[in-house]
Chains A and B, each alone.
Chain A
């Protein structure tokens, strides 16, 4: 380039040295002014753009809160187009997309966001919700965990607990009792001292198969509010789970006394009554009464497993049928009761996983009676 330029260039410039230097000085001055002007304009531009983006974001949040996800998407999209680096704006867009049932778009948006903010708690929580909507529980669980242990800019304790409760809900829905208990145990110690929270934890501990911890929670609630109906009902439920039917009946009766119109409590009280009057392991029963209750329990159990062809054709089921059909002599009541309870327990515990026992009061009674036998 330089060779060619020198070939064509005139050997002596026409401008005088003074004009030459003056031009360069002028260029330096103009460059400085231009730079200042550009930086000034750029600052104004950034400020106005940021203001516009924030305004669009606020509108989006309001619309989303008002259930207008579709409109919210438009506002969040504008905010994102102005400030692509903003995690809240993109997150808002993804949440609005979830609200609009655009799950695939929300997932794609969140993926790009996770590339930039993989430890962000809010982003991982949103992704967990997407996974949950896509019926991918194990992925959802993983993202919930990242949300729980991720970074939160504000209210980190509360937000982490919200994420954990969402995970707990998911685990409870799936009936994953062990994982559920694993999530509940940290909350037992660290959760804020709130009656509502304790009450909720109590319910969850029951679902996680830990009625003793549930009872502690409800007891704590009742200590602060002796008239708390839900706490009495929870106490009754925990007592049913551990097979303390008498205590369950008392707590549920108290709950019903405090809230007589509550049909659910009335149903649970009826179940407690039935369990109490059918409990073959109750103290002070005569041998004949125990025999009769044991036989009734075996009959209930057989009725429940008859719907499972796999189990109903086993030798265990045949033995149960023989025991139900046979009449023991009074001297044989004691051993016969023991055998019937053992067979009933075996049938119950050996029922296949796919052979779910349908709900209903009768089966609830059976479940509580069986639980009592295993304790």
Chain B
């Protein structure tokens, strides 16, 4: 390696990369490749998507296995004394609580809000210490029986690994930020064995933008991580689901009821968790390290009587998906899990709410399914089908990512026929949750921590701020071939800074009034205004060749183009033809939309009705 480094420092690499490779020794070619990677961050980012996918996949698999082994030894299923079920989570919470406060304060909680904070606040920075802390403490915490999930922490770990690698390689801040969802996606693909849902979750929840331009990298890392998972753990799905089908169309009504139950259950869970968290936050700071013990003890006491409350609980989910648990048990488990998870999370234990959401949803679904099947045995499927849809319903209601929840359940079941009832239930749960609990859980959690991350409503608002909001009718355009003298007479008395010019084909460009005035001063009044135009190339297909915007462009883009073209007025043209003038947008109107207009600073144009823009 040191020899290679010497070559990097001594060889003229630009010449190496251009000479014939036949004449170049292999080691020099490697050196050139390395240097090329260093210079081209886009290529490096693509390569890193694969590397991050593999590394994160391996780390998350280790995380899953360690947690499982630890749980099997600390509170063996079906064996061991009952007191161990109380002691293990209590001690686990005590140890991890102390370590969290003392050494790894960033490793507390789920990991999803922390990952978003890293993107939107910390320039993509997640420290190696946080990654290690999250891994060790969450393994201990979840392995000891704390009723939280492993997916949120996995996402944080994955994002952290991406951040650490990117920073170690000296990538720019922007690139580091872009690689955070790449790591998150890889982590979720491995943790939940659903690569497509992982991609969607990264875009829908982490980035908050389904059209984020990192889609390719996210897909690459997710796929790589999923392959690693299968390489190590084999083809075993997370849940084993029978092939369900809709027994009769009237069954959809039961799924509507499930949507309502799921929505209300989700809201109850979220509100309880947030309320408890506020209460814990009001306790003296000196008690922070011991607060998780409250969660550990609560889940321990519940687990003493009902062992299924302990841990992630996917075994019980698997059982209920096969319709194997009786009604009163599923109702009891749903209620106890809501309490246990809310207390564990609110008290500051390390772990997520992703898995518990699925647990709670499956139990609620099974309960609805069992009641429906008892009442209408001929018209309804078994309770397992409802448990499955219930998982998606709770996910849509609690996490508020309806698209991810549908795709996730689809990936788990690989059964298309479940999609329609799933969409109905999810949509209803999502709507109810939105109506009754305005703020999504991760946004509310971040806000409780004093973090003001971009919210869904902000993204919606920013989407609404389009050119169309500031659009005004076009003034009477100047005709190409008009002399500068005539043009001056036409625009006299108006305050528009630039004026559209048309010919018989339509819009040909914009002319600045200041340029007209300068031409007159220079004594060029007899020449035509064509000479002053920022014109469209006659045969050009490049939209950027003419200063313009479309009505659905963001206002920010209009501002950028105004700056680039030095026009305070831009023509708004049709997407079908850049020569069709629909109106104009002025700097003044844009500022008015943003609410920052100062009338004294910004001249208001005098509008004159056009006689038919081309």
- C-beta contact mask, A9-50 vs B, less than 8 Å → 1, else 0? 111111111111111111100110011011101101100100
B217 part of interface (Cβ distance < 8 Å): yes
Chain A: residues with Cβ within 8 Å of the partner, total of 44
What residue of chain A has the Cβ atom nearest to residue B229's Cβ?
Answer: A38
B293 within 8 A of A: no
Complex: A44 Cα to B178 Cα, angstroms? 37
Interchain nearest-CB distance for A222 vs B (Å) = 56
Q: Flag whether A61 is at the interface (Cβ < 8 A).
A: no
A78 on the interface (CB 8 Å rule)? yes
> Residues of B contacting A31 with CB < 8 Å?
51, 54-55, 58
Where the two chains meet, the residues of A that have a C-beta atom closer than 8 Å to any C-beta of B are 1-6, 8-27, 30-31, 34-35, 37-39, 41-42, 44-45, 48, 56, 77-78, 81, 84, 112
Is B42 within 8 A of A13, CB to CB? Answer: no
- Across the interface, which residues of B come within 8 angstroms of A5, CB to CB? 41-42, 45, 174-175, 178, 213-214, 217
Of chain A, the residue at the smallest CB distance from B233 is A42
**A residues less than 8 Å from B40 (CB atoms):** 6
Whether B319 pairs with A10 at a CB distance below 8 angstroms is no
Within 8 Å CB of A84, what residues of B? Answer: 240
The 9 A-B pairs with the shortest beta carbon distances in the complex, nearest first, are A15-B170, A8-B174, A9-B41, A10-B172, A34-B58, A14-B170, A4-B213, A6-B42, A17-B8
How long is the Cα–Cα vector from A17 to B9 in the complex, in angstroms?
8
**Residues of A with C-beta under 8 A to B324:** 77
Q: A176 CB to closest chain B CB, in angstroms? A: 35
Partner among B39, B51, B77, B232 whose Cβ is within 8 Å of the Cβ of A27? B51
Query: Given A5-B175, A21-B1, A31-B58, are A42 and B319 neighbors across the interface (CB < 8 Å)?
Result: no
B220 and chain A: residue at smallest CB distance: A1
Are B175 and A37 in contact, CB atoms less than 8 angstroms apart?
A: no
Interface residue? B575 (CB, 8 A)? no
Known: A2-B45, A21-B1. A38 touches B61 (CB 8 A): yes
Q: Mark B20-41, 1 if CB is under 8 A from A, else 0.
A: 0000000000000011011111
Q: Does B5 contact A (CB under 8 A)?
A: yes
Contact in complex: B38, A13 (CB < 8 Å): yes
Once the chains are docked, how many angstroms separate the CA of A2 from the CA of B46? 7
Is B169 part of the contact surface with A, judged by Cβ < 8 Å? Answer: yes
B445 at the interface (CB under 8 A from A): no
Q: Contact: B62 with A34, CB < 8 Å? A: yes
Q: List 7 A-B contacts (CB under 8 A).
A: A1-B45, A6-B42, A9-B174, A19-B168, A20-B169, A23-B165, A38-B58
In the assembly, what is the distance between CA of A35 and CA of B165, in Å?
Answer: 18
A41 with B66, Cβ < 8 A, contacts A1-B217, A8-B175, A17-B5 known? yes
CA distance A3 to B59 in the complex (A): 30
The residue in B34, B39, B54, B62 that gathers the most chain A C-beta atoms within 10 A of its C-beta is B62
B: number of interface residues (CB 8 Å): 54
Chain A nearest CB from B487 CB (Å) reads: 39
Residues on the A chain within 8 Å of B214, using CB: 1, 4-5
Segment 154-190 of B: residues with Cβ below 8 Å from A: 165, 168-172, 174-175, 178
Alpha-carbon distance A11/B216, docked complex (angstroms): 21
In the bound complex, do residue A12 and residue B39 qualify as a contact, i.e. CB atoms below 8 Å apart?
yes
CB distance from A92 to the nearest CB of B (A): 16
**Which of A15, A20, A27, A77 is the one whose CB lies under 8 Å from B55?**
A27
Within 8 Å by CB of B315, from A16, A23, A48, A81, lies A81
**Residues of chain A within 8 A of B5, CB atoms compared:** 17-18, 21
Within 8 A of A (CB), among B208-229: 213-217
**B58→A35 contact, CB < 8 A:** yes
Whether B65 contacts A38 by the Cβ 8 Å rule is: yes
What are the residues of chain A within 8 A of B447 when measuring CB–CB? none
Quick check: B172 and A41 within 8 Å, CB to CB? Answer: no
Task: Give chain B interface residues in 47-83, CB to chain A under 8 Å.
Answer: 51, 54-55, 58-59, 61-62, 65-66, 68-69, 72, 77-78
Inter-subunit contact B178/A8 (CB<8 Å): yes
Instruction: Tell me the bound Cα distance from A318 to B358 in angstroms.
Output: 81
Distance (whole angstroms) from the CB of B319 to the closest CB of chain A: 7
Chain B residues closer than 8 Å to A2, beta-carbon distance: 42-43, 45-46, 216
Interface centre among B44, B58, B59 (most CB of A within 10 A): B58
Would A3 and B41 count as touching, CB distance under 8 A?
Answer: no
Q: Tell me which residues across on chain A come within 8 A of B170, comparing CB atoms.
A: 13-16, 19-20
Rounded to whole angstroms, the CA-CA distance of A87 and B77 in the bound complex is 23
Report yes or no: B172 in contact with A15, Cβ–Cβ below 8 A: no
Contacts of A23 in B (CB 8 A): 165, 168-169
By beta carbon, the residue of chain A nearest B219 is: A1
B329 within 8 A of A: no
- Does B545 reach chain A (CB closer than 8 Å)? no
B589 at the interface (CB under 8 A from A): no
> CB distance A39 to B172 under 8 Å?
no
A44: B residues at CB distance < 8 A = 69
- Expressed in whole angstroms, the minimum distance between the Cβ of A329 and any Cβ of chain B is 75
Distance in Å from the Cβ of B181 to the closest Cβ of chain A?
11
- Bound complex: CA A10 to CA B41 (Å): 8
Known: A20-B34, A23-B165, A45-B68. A13 touches B171 (CB 8 A): yes
Tell me the minimal C-beta distance from A30 to chain B in angstroms: 7
Residues of B within 8 A of A22 (CB): 1
Given known A34-B59, A78-B78, contact A8–B9 (CB-CB < 8 A): no
B122 CB, nearest partner CB in chain A, Å: 16
**B436 part of interface (Cβ distance < 8 Å):** no
Known: A19-B170, A23-B168. A81 touches B41 (CB 8 A): no
Q: Evaluate contact between A45 and B78: CB separation under 8 angstroms.
A: no
Whether A39 contacts B232 by the Cβ 8 Å rule is yes
Interface hub of A5, A16, A17, A78 (most chain B Cβ within 10 A): A5
User: In whole Å, how far is A14's beta carbon from the nearest beta carbon of chain B?
Assistant: 4
- Contact between A34 and B55 (Cβ–Cβ < 8 Å)? yes
User: Smallest CB-CB separation from A7: which chain B residue?
Assistant: B174
Answer yes or no: B318 CB below 8 A from chain A CBs. yes
How many Å lie between the Cα of A185 and that of B213 in the bound state? 76
Bound together, the chains give a CA A2 to CA B44 distance in angstroms of: 10
A24: B residues at CB distance < 8 A: 169
B566 → chain A, closest Cβ, in Å? 22
Check if B215 sits within 8 Å of A1, measured CB to CB. yes
In the complex, A19→B2 CA distance in Å? Answer: 11
Return chain B residues, CB-CB under 8 Å to A81: 315, 318-319
Known A-B contacts A1-B215, A20-B170; A6 and B54 likewise in contact (beta carbons under 8 Å): no
Cα–Cα, bound, A234→B207 (Å):
86
Among B4, B233, B240, the residue within 8 A (CB) of A21 is B4
Contact B216–A42 (Cβ < 8 Å): no
> A residues within 8 A CB of B58?
31, 34-35, 37-38
Closest approach, in angstroms, between the C-beta of A139 and any C-beta of chain B? 22
Within the complex, what minimum Cβ distance (angstroms) separates B572 from chain A? 25
Cα-based distance from A37 to B63 in the complex (angstroms): 11
A27 to B59, CA, bound (A): 12
- A11 CB, min distance to chain B CBs, angstroms: 7
Contact across chains for B35 and A17 when beta carbons are under 8 A apart:
yes
Identify the closest chain A residue to B34 (Cβ): A21
Which residues of B lie under 8 Å from residue A4 when comparing CB positions? 178, 213-214
- Can you add 6 more A-B contacts, CB < 8 Å, to A5-B42, A20-B34? A5-B217, A6-B42, A17-B34, A17-B38, A77-B319, A78-B77
* Mask: chain B, 285-326; 1 = CB below 8 Å from A; 0 = not: 000000000000000000000000000000100110000100
A303 to chain B, nearest CB (A): 51
CA distance A15 to B35 in the complex (A): 11
CB closest residue in chain B, given A42: B232
Looking at B38, B68, B324, which has the most chain A CB atoms within 10 Å of its CB?
B38
A20–B9 alpha-carbon span in the complex (Å) = 13
Instruction: Among A25, A37, A38, A112, point to the contact of B1 (Cβ < 8 A).
Output: A25
Q: Is the CB of B172 within 8 A of A8?
A: yes
- A346 to B233, alpha carbons, bound, how many Å? 75
Q: Closest approach, in angstroms, between the C-beta of A328 and any C-beta of chain B?
A: 69
B42 lies within 8 A of A9 (CB): yes
A31-B54, A42-B232 known; A15-B66 Cβ under 8 A: no
B382 → chain A, closest Cβ, in Å?
10
> Bound state CA distance, A3 and B213, in angstroms?
9
